[in-house]
Amino acid sequence: MHINDKSGVQSYQASPNRYDSMTYKRSGKSGVLLPALSIGLWHNFGFVDDLQKGREILRTAFDLGVTHFDLANNYGPPYGSAEENFGIIFKKDFKPYRDELFIATKAGYDMWPGPYGNKGSRKYLISSLDQSLKRMGLDYVDVFYHHAPDPETPLEETMGALADIVRQGKALYVGISNYQPEDTQKAAKILKRLNVPFILHQARYSMFDRWVEDGLLNTLNDNGVGCIAFSPLAQGLLTDKYINGIPEGSRAAKNLTYLNEDTVLSHTEKIQKLHAIAQNRNQKLSEMAIAWILRQPQVASVLLGASSANQLKDNVKALNNLEFNPDELNLIENILSK
């Protein structure tokens, strides 16, 4: 909802109906309920992007009941700019709603030059979060992740830093991202010993990238930790965009490192068959792909990117049909396993 302030500029007042239609899922065995769909600021929120468009995406998200905003120190480009832009939007629109929001940031990948701006050292993690809080104008984040495993730093040091961050009041909960099952189990054991609330593992998961099913989801279940899935649409493959080839101006047409022409062409037959199943369910392919992930009990939320408010509204429609019958699941499995 938007109202005009005295200057004539539209200010933001959240929809009074924002919690009416969103589904919320418990993250592991924690007290935290996450929206089934969360909004990620990996793309479209850097200094190279339109700030007002980003602002409209976040307003729309919150009006739809999306309470979880996901960032990282190096989101942009340039690094840090997504957090800085989020800080501007937060101050203008969301400060009155801080206690209704669940905000995340991360550190673990390259951020600044020299030996202390990367990986998993105590020095890097604590310094990075201090910088992130300043950029976003926050006193704390709700969850802070180690973004990627660092085999060169003892896991005890990395997890110990996360524990101290919670004790310092800079984060309420901790998480990890991109960890394999064995290291996830080790991290969970250390954090349990340190009595730190470890509630989330953020992992890439889609119909075309199912590595989490090979042990990770079971490990998370055993430790009472939720999973939040990123890249659920496989960078756009699991949408209607590539059903009939590669449109001009699309990501694949630009041959980007994470989505190129060869990848699309090798998946075209599967995309078309999955699209047909989605049509029979009265869904778009993207909606079905999101619902398929949410059927996993360990998945607390699916992390969506959005280039526009309308795109976000379309993806939220996935919640209108989350059930699959056995025949549908068998058909999907047969397509994906070939």
In the chain, which ranges are continuous DSSP H helix? 51-63, 81-89, 122-136, 155-167, 181-193, 216-222, 261-280, 285-294, 309-316, 326-336
Residue 331 burial (10 A CB sphere; 0-12, 13-18, 19+): middle
Count the domains in the chain.
1
Please tell me the predicted confidence (pLDDT) of residue 263.
85
Tokens describing residue 111: 């951020």
* Residue 5 confidence (pLDDT): 44
Q: Is residue 112 helix, strand or coil? A: coil
Under DSSP, the state recorded for 265 is H
pLDDT score, position 2: 52
Q: What is the pTM of this model?
A: 0.94
92, two tokens = 């203008």
Predicted local distance difference test score (pLDDT) of residue 294: 98
What residues have CB less than 8 Å from 107, skipping those under 6 apart? 72, 73, 124, 125, 128, 129, 132, 144, 145, 146, 147
Q: What pLDDT is recorded for position 205?
A: 98
What domain range is 316 assigned to?
2-336
CATH number of the domain bearing residue 49: 3.20.20.100
- Candidates 38, 37, 336; CA nearest to 207 is 336
Residue 3's pLDDT is: 45
> Do 246 and 264 contact (CB within 8 A), yes or no?
yes
What digits encode the pLDDT tens for the residues 257-271?
667 888 888 899 999
Per-residue pLDDT of the chain (338 residues), as tens digits, is 454 444 344 799 999 999 999 999 999 999 999 999 999 999 999 999 999 999 999 999 999 999 999 999 999 999 999 999 999 999 999 999 999 999 999 999 999 999 999 999 999 999 999 999 999 999 999 999 999 999 999 999 999 999 999 999 999 999 999 999 999 999 999 999 999 999 999 999 999 999 999 999 999 999 999 999 999 999 899 999 888 877 776 777 676 666 788 888 889 999 999 999 999 999 999 999 999 999 999 999 999 999 999 999 999 999 999 999 999 999 999 999 98
